[in-house]
Chain A
Amino acid sequence: MRLVIDESRCKGCNLCTLVCPYRIFRPGTKANPRGVIVPELDRPERCANCRLQRLYGRTICGMCQMICPDQAISWEEEGPCEPMKVAIEY
């Protein structure tokens, strides 16, 4: 799974930067064509839901998606890819 921010819905309130336990979201720096400063993703592969949703069969954590007032955060399916090592912080 891959964490994505829908730039057509996001209004740049930065609430996701407040709630993510891994601090994946960072306040953005550049405005998009709509004039909204969309948060940036810092190594989104660390997200617990991206890694474990398939294994557990339900949404893990999901705080960013629930608190996002603009329904802009979601996870999308990924195609097959090369396995790679991910450093996980505790």
Chain B
Amino acid sequence: MTFDEWLRVDRLPHIYCAGCGNGTVINCTLSAVDQMGWKKEEIVFVSGIGCSSRAPGYIVTDSLHTTHGRAIAFATGIKMANPDLKVVVFTGDGDLAAIGGNHFIHGCRRNIDLTVICMNNMIYGMTGGQGSPTTPRGALSTTTPYGSSEAAFDLCGLAAAAGANYVARYTSYHVKELTLAIRTGLGNPGFSFIEALVQCPTNYGRRNKLRQVSDQIEYFKSHAILAQKAERMREEGKKIPDDMIIIGELARRNRPALGVRK
């Protein structure tokens, strides 16, 4: 479980703010890749634009930093040109849900053999804290100064409905489970979508009464509810509070995948 050999040590410390959860997701991804036993030459990291998309720059393998929202489109090209490569896409919520929404849906529909890791910090962190499609209702941001009045996008529900083979959601507090989910996604043929909720102390927590990094981690810890438990509560007729985050493996199926050598 070592990921230090996968990092570009001369590039560290990285550019993320103190306490940013993206670093945790990099750790989880790299230890999952390490557990798969793959060589550095056979894996490509692709990213779009945003805080999360700076992640491949700190990893020694080949990587591609592409235009805003088009990471899945570029990754499709890589996978179709050389199906032997393992392609992992790092993307953020603004990148995937807002500008790249259609690429995401059609990636799920085609069921390409990619692993997409969405670092969802619920805000546009890099550009100064504008509200994103995943900003929860009532949250403050620079473009929603009276609280967001829109419902947030359920990315996992979208991926599952569009036909992704493996869908899971965890937070940056659940590091072991997130590592296991990424590992399952890497080993699974077809489109694997893992949503990792991360803390953004600089632009989200600061405006939403979660000023310390630990406050937001405590929030994830106390508001996460496992999918099986949520299902049980629903069967018993209990009401799940609106602000609960449903974590766990949300879809797993075996649709025919594109980009896998027969």
Which positions in A face B, CB cutoff 8 Å?
8-9, 11-15, 17-18, 36, 58-59, 62-63, 65-72, 74
* A70 touching B23, Cβ below 8 Å: yes
| Nearest CB of B to A30, in Å | 17
Asked if B251 is an interface residue, CB under 8 A from chain A, the answer is: no
Asked if B31 is an interface residue, CB under 8 A from chain A, the answer is: yes
Contact of A69 (CB < 8 Å), options: B20, B173, B179, B218: B20
* A70 touching B1, Cβ below 8 Å: no
The residues of B that contact A15 with a CB separation of less than 8 Å are 19, 24, 213-214, 217
Instruction: Give the total number of A-B pairs whose CB atoms are below 8 A apart.
Output: 69
Q: Interface size bucket, B side?
A: 20 to 34
Identify the closest chain A residue to B9 (Cβ). Answer: A71
Given A8-B13, A58-B1, do A66 and B217 touch, yes or no (CB 8 Å)? no
* B23 touching A69, Cβ below 8 Å: yes
Interface pairs (9), CB distance under 8 Å? A14-B213, A62-B1, A66-B175, A68-B23, A69-B21, A70-B12, A70-B13, A70-B16, A71-B27
* B213 touching A13, Cβ below 8 Å: yes
| Nearest CB of B to A89, in Å | 22
Asked if B176 is an interface residue, CB under 8 A from chain A, the answer is: yes
Asked if B161 is an interface residue, CB under 8 A from chain A, the answer is: no
The residues of B that contact A59 with a CB separation of less than 8 Å are 1-2
* A67 touching B172, Cβ below 8 Å: yes
Given A15-B19, A18-B217, do A70 and B28 touch, yes or no (CB 8 Å)? no
Asked if B7 is an interface residue, CB under 8 A from chain A, the answer is: yes
| Nearest CB of B to A61, in Å | 10
Asked if B18 is an interface residue, CB under 8 A from chain A, the answer is: yes
* B176 touching A12, Cβ below 8 Å: no
Given A62-B1, A63-B175, A74-B4, do A69 and B16 touch, yes or no (CB 8 Å)? yes
Residue among A17, A59, A62, A72 with the most chain B CB within 10 A? A62
The residues of B that contact A65 with a CB separation of less than 8 Å are 27
